[in-house]
Chains A and B, each alone.
Chain A
Amino acid sequence: MILTATHITKTFTSPQKIKLLSDISLSLPAGASLAITGKSGEGKTTLLQILGTLEKADSGTLTIAGQTVTPSLAPTLRNQHIGFIFQSFNLLEDFTALENILMPLRIARKPASPAHALALLDAVGLTSRAHFPAKLLSGGEKQRIAIARALVTSPDLILADEPSGNLDHENAAAIHDLLFSLVRERKKTLVLATHDLDLAARCDQRMILCQGNLRNW
């Protein structure tokens, strides 16, 4: 299994006590794709952040690529086994597209070969934008760069939080196609949080998060 979450719970205490996730368990094999849907505020993003080790669960265990997540191991797991795609792209605005893609490799202190990054840029169709600062790119272009960045370390798990939430319909469709083609081509495990039922339908599994519980639909 690439991802195993067991009995995950999360409660926020400020400004008021809300139990967002209660006893969530799931497991995903390599190459699987899972769509998590649910109403706004149900905790989709929080769940994704817990699965991505950005947020600590109150209880429960999380195993990624066979390794149990601990606070000291979390940054390494994020760098080597997880790729994030955010709704608001989250690129480093002052860096070029190429630099953004290479950043996870630089953080890992691995040889950051521009050829590898350029191949990914080619795969997302943005070779011509390699040296453009991220702040000058359009929303669709930014998300393509974010997808390339998520794949640059060849992670086992891709976590996408509303990947097309900030894009128009046309761009959103293009991003969906690109995401699924790249993930499937590279046999990555994908977990995405979305309101878009059409997008969710393209995943192998679909689950809904409602009142802190995750169930199939």
Chain B
Amino acid sequence: MSGKDKMEQLEKIFESRELNVNMGPQHPATHGVLRLVLDMDGETIVKVTPYVGYLHRGIEKLGESLSYYQALPLTDRMDYVSAMSNNIGYCVAVEKLFDIEAPERAKFIRTIVGEMSRIANHLLWLATHALDIGAMTVFLYCFREREWILDLYEMICGARLTVTYPRVGGVRNDVPQEFLDSLWKFTDEFPSRILEYETLIDQNRIWLQRTIGIGVISAEEAVSCGMTGPTLRGSGVTYDIRKHMPYDAYDKVEFDVPIGTAGDTYDRYRCRMLEMRQSNNIIRQCIEKLPVGPVMADAPKFTLQPKDKMMPITHPTEALAYIIDEKVCKGCGMCLRACPAKAIFGEKKKPHTIKQEFCLGCGNCFVTCKFKALKLIPGGKAMSEEQLKELAAGPMPEEITKAAEYMVRHFEFVKKGPKVPEGEIYVATEVPKGELGFYFVSDGSGKPFRMRVRAPSFIHAGCLPRLCVGHLVADVIANIGTIDIVLGECDR
């Protein structure tokens, strides 16, 4: 064998070719169900192809089938890390569409909870980002403070994750004084806690090596890619919707917008750290300036009125029993179809009966009945069937008739929605991840004709190939962390 042949043979054996590696969707470092297909030359990334959509629930399609009030809880399920901000984004957009304005106090409360969710989100981001890169302790420290914020959430609305606290036209309920006291204590202590995280990683040599010069993106490119939020500001672009298009109480508080210069992972990290301090400041200012007054806009045509106004009834709603008056019932079967629990029995053109043990007390039948054959009996759940029948035959007390009327109005209001003028609107708000936009097209009915969610995570996930190419595999993890994506929001 000649030398040339031998060389060829050796080349064949040690032939180098691109390697395809599949990462995710069930990978702990991809922050959810993100799948990446990496084309690699040795350990260097040549091409990245992200695959999203594993968490697609069709929130836009669902939103088009529900009225403006019913779609609010869906927004919690998008970015579940900062549900409060998503709710605020939705409410601000719908308020603009209805042309109503929340009262001052509600605006300040929304600003407070919005900034709280920004801190909670950035803490979770820092925790997981540091964990991915290899700093375990930061994770535990961050979750300690995040827990505190979630406990504060619980104090105002009873929920920790999917809060649905803001409402169209204000907030659900006023905040208690003990919440404000506790939050004030938190803001007193929080800056020292940020210092704690920074002593751990800010000048840490491993941290600096893993973040400086990784995932660099220039300002022009970042704007062209549609990046927003701290991810964009790390590149030195001063785009913050809280300053550019102020909503809620952001024009009444003073705060700075931190920006970076290099546009790498370290600058974006610094931006978020400084942003947490600014959020802390905003919360303090809001508590100091918090005005007194109502928390729901006075627009009965567009907003849900307080429960005691809607249902002036002294009895607990759980104890209400519904019963069909056999003399009035024509047997049309409307209530039969409307009942979600299938508690109504009976044949066509014969009076129906309600089985009390199945009845949920939702009132669907009451609203659908055209002949007013249904009667409400307070405290009826504890009575026997004979007693109920006896009561049904007699006239209803006036208090109950009035309450029932209110309830029907409330029911129809939520189900059908208010009458909205025709038009279209795009309103953006600054959520922790970037710009969350809602685009509504209204056709005059109570449901949006088209509801579009501009999710920042979706755009940022699309930028991932740009950030990763040319770096090593280990830096892909740092890049996924630095763009701060939540796949629930990305896939909607």
Is B truly associated with A? no
Partner-A contacts on B (CB < 8 A): none
